[in-house]
A and B are shown apart, each in its own frame.
Chain A
Amino acid sequence: MTYYAYLVAVFVLLTGVFGIVRSRNLIHTVVCLSVAQSGTYVLLLAIGYQRGVSPPVFGSPPVKPTTSVTDPLVQALTLTDIVVSATVTALLLAIAVQVHKRHGTVDPNELVALEG
């Protein structure tokens, strides 16, 4: 069971993609994309974890700095990724709203032709 965390991350990613494939509503698709992105966050943080150590923050007044902490690089990567992907999700939702205004539906099966 030493690989359980990584397998859960892969599972969450594939579940998100499965949701995108079977979706009948553009907004449902965007939410499933958000779930798939969360799978990558779990993978990154699982790689950076070390058993029984503290987070890489030394506080104020500071404790003695040591390299016996969890990996700060993957955490920095993940936290900027979370905020930025929220704004990209907003962009996708705005596109879904515009599609509804132009075509009257958000069902991807009914959006057949790209009108010129």
Chain B
Amino acid sequence: MEDLGTCIVSFLIIVGAFFALVASVGLLRLPDVYSRMHAASKAGTLGSGLMLIALAIYSDDLATITRALIGVVFFLLTAPIASHLLAKAAYAVGYRLSDISVMDEMSKSDPLKDKNA
């Protein structure tokens, strides 16, 4: 039984670290701010959340379990807000989408053509 818990913890840790790595590769490879934001905020949140959950499963102390879970909830609440705010600010100021993006639904004129609004 204890072995099963340890195996679950090792699995969660590896998957979480893998998702953090995927997020940073996406940050490096994607073409513009908005698509990078999608990589960083979704995969990054999943990665660190999984590692905190692994800590909560591994620990046998109630205080540590609570803190780790509170950390997960807090991170899930704040990460989307932060990146949404950043995206809105960048779009309002006029950072453009990359030329290979297909459409811009927030554009005031033609969403399919006017990508540089």
The finding on whether chains A and B are genuine partners in a shared complex, rather than unrelated, reads no
Tell me the A residues contacting B by CB distance below 8 Å. none
Tell me the B residues contacting A by CB distance below 8 Å. none
